[in-house]
Amino acid sequence: MAVAEIRGLTVQYGRFTALSDFSVDIPEGCVGLLGPNGAGKTTLIKTILGFVKPATGGGHVLGADILREGPLIRQRVGLMPEQDCHIPGMSAVAFVAYAGELAGMPGNHALRRSHEVLEYCGLGEARYRLVETYSTGMKQRIKLAQALIHGPKLLLLDEPTNGLDPRGREEMLELIRSVSHGKNVNVIVSSHLLPDIERTCDQVIVVAQGKLRAQGLIKDLRKVEGAPIDVELKEENPKFMQALQERGVTLLSAHRNIYRVQGKGLPSDVGKIVFDAATAVGTQVRGYDLAQRSLEEAFLEVIR
């Protein structure tokens, strides 16, 4: 079952059309939402939250109508906004518990779960501190905590690694992965950092110019026509190409020490030939795998 179904949605801001006749089924699991600036990503998130008054079209999110049941949707969905946000003058525990009460949880349940969620988000030690005193990384975590407090079935994460340093970013991605896999929470991640999407999501939705451009498994998007193999050598070696061709393997392209080759048969058969060729010319194979595009390449091609 789809988490959200949007049908023929057209949204206009004045003369600007943010989404035009947009239809999508957002599948369960962890989905990446990609698109250049101004593509309609933000409008789509607003739609999913039931904020948008479309010119035409409609849809359902978690079974609730986006036109009439906005508040009900927001009770079932958790949003982690891109900007820093908190309620001033509160400790982390009180803030997250209050967010839970706003979502309709009874006070005592909200407070109990607030401790639990903060612990989970790695703020256990700092939970009695004022949110104002938090660092960038901690503010990012508390935004996630307040989005999770009411146990949403769908989590919307808008640029969740914004402003984080490499360590903070890695921890945040790990957190997102763990909540989206095996915890029965569906996640939509909107991010400009495509490697983040690659690491957390299984599927992507690509939006550009108010239209759905592509949708599917990341695995499939990254596939290269004809399933060639990328071979990485320790260093460039012109003789290697020749040795390969003698053994019936065609070279498609070479980029520094990485060679893209196309052979017949199973990857393990091609592998054998590659190893043989490398040994013959006295070079070392450092890597050998089915060729894949980066998500970025795939993305840039899709939106072009």
Partner 1 sequence: MIVFQEASRWYGQIIGLNDVTCTIPTGVTALLGLNGAGKSTMLRMITGQIRATTGTVSVYGQTPFANPEVYKLIGYCPEIDNFYEHMNGFQFVEHLGRLAGYGKTEARERSRRMIERVGMADRAHKKIAGYSKGMRQRVKLAQAMIHDPQAVLLDEPLNGLDPVGRREFMQLLQTFSEDGKTILVSSHILFEVEQMTSNIVLLHRGRLLATGNIGVIRELIDKYPHRIRIATTQAREVATQLAGLPYISNISFERDGLEIQTREPDKFYDYLPSLAVQHGLPIDGFSSPDNNLESVFRYLVTN
Partner 2 sequence: MSSPIADLTYRGYDGPLGGVSKRWWAIAKYQIKKQVKNRFLWVLMAASGWYYAIMIIIFFFLEQMAVNNGPQGEQALKGFLANIVWKDQFLLGFSFGQFLFFVMTWILGAASIANDNRANALLVYLSKPCTKADYLLGKWLGIFLPLLLMQLIPTLFFWLYGMTSFASYGFVGAAGWLILKMIPIAVLGSALSASVILGVSSMFNQGRIAGIVFAGLYMVSNFFTVFVKIAILFQGGHGRSRIADIPPALLNLFYCSIDGIQIAIAKNILGTAGSQPFGGGGARQRMAEVPVPSPIFTALIWLALCAAGWAIAWRRVRAVEVVG
Other Cβ atoms closer than 10 A to 157:
29
Select the residue interacting with partner 2 from 1, 14, 16, 83 (CB under 8 A). 83
146 belongs to the binding site for partner 2 (CB under 8 A): yes
261 belongs to the binding site for partner 2 (CB under 8 A): no
163 belongs to the binding site for partner 2 (CB under 8 A): no
71 binds, among partner 1, partner 2, none (CB under 5 to 8 A by kind): partner 2
* CA proximity to 60, closest of 78, 77, 41: 77
184 belongs to the binding site for partner 2 (CB under 8 A): yes
DSSP the chain: --SEEEEEEEEEETTEEEEEEEEEEEPSSEEEEE--TTSSHHHHHHHHTT----SEEEEEETTEETTT-HHHHHHHEEEE-SS----TT-BHHHHHHHHHHHTT--HHHHHHHHHHHHHHTT-STTTTSBGGG--HHHHHHHHHHHHHTT--SEEEEESTTTT--HHHHHHHHHHHHHHHSSSS-EEEEE-S-HHHHHHH-SEEEEEETTEEEEEEEHHHHHB-TT--EEEEESS--HHHHHHHHHTT-EEEEEETTEEEEE-SS-HHHHHHHHHHHHHHHT--EEEEEE-B--HHHHHHHHH-
295 belongs to the binding site for partner 2 (CB under 8 A): no
CA–CA distance, 300 with 296 (Å, rounded to integer): 6
4 belongs to the binding site for partner 2 (CB under 8 A): no
20 binds, among partner 1, partner 2, none (CB under 5 to 8 A by kind): none
State phi, psi for 10 to the nearest 5 degrees: -125, 125
129 belongs to the binding site for partner 2 (CB under 8 A): no
251 belongs to the binding site for partner 2 (CB under 8 A): no
Contacting partner 2 within 190-249 (CB under 8 A): none
In angstroms, give the least distance from the CB of 303 to partner 1: 7
124 binds, among partner 2, partner 1, none (CB under 5 to 8 A by kind): none
Contacting partner 2 within 13-72 (CB under 8 A): 42, 45-46, 49, 51, 70-72
211 binds, among partner 2, partner 1, none (CB under 5 to 8 A by kind): none
Select the residue interacting with partner 2 from 2, 67, 102, 214 (CB under 8 A). 102
Q: Which residues bind partner 1 (CB under 8 A)?
A: 34-38, 135-137, 159, 162-170, 192-195, 229, 232, 234, 266-268, 271-272, 275-276, 278-279, 284-290, 296, 299-300, 303
171 binds, among partner 1, partner 2, none (CB under 5 to 8 A by kind): none
Residues that bind partner 2 (CB under 8 A): 42, 45-46, 49, 51, 70-72, 74-75, 78-79, 81-89, 98-99, 101-106, 109, 113, 116-117, 119-120, 132, 146-151, 153, 158, 178-179, 183-185
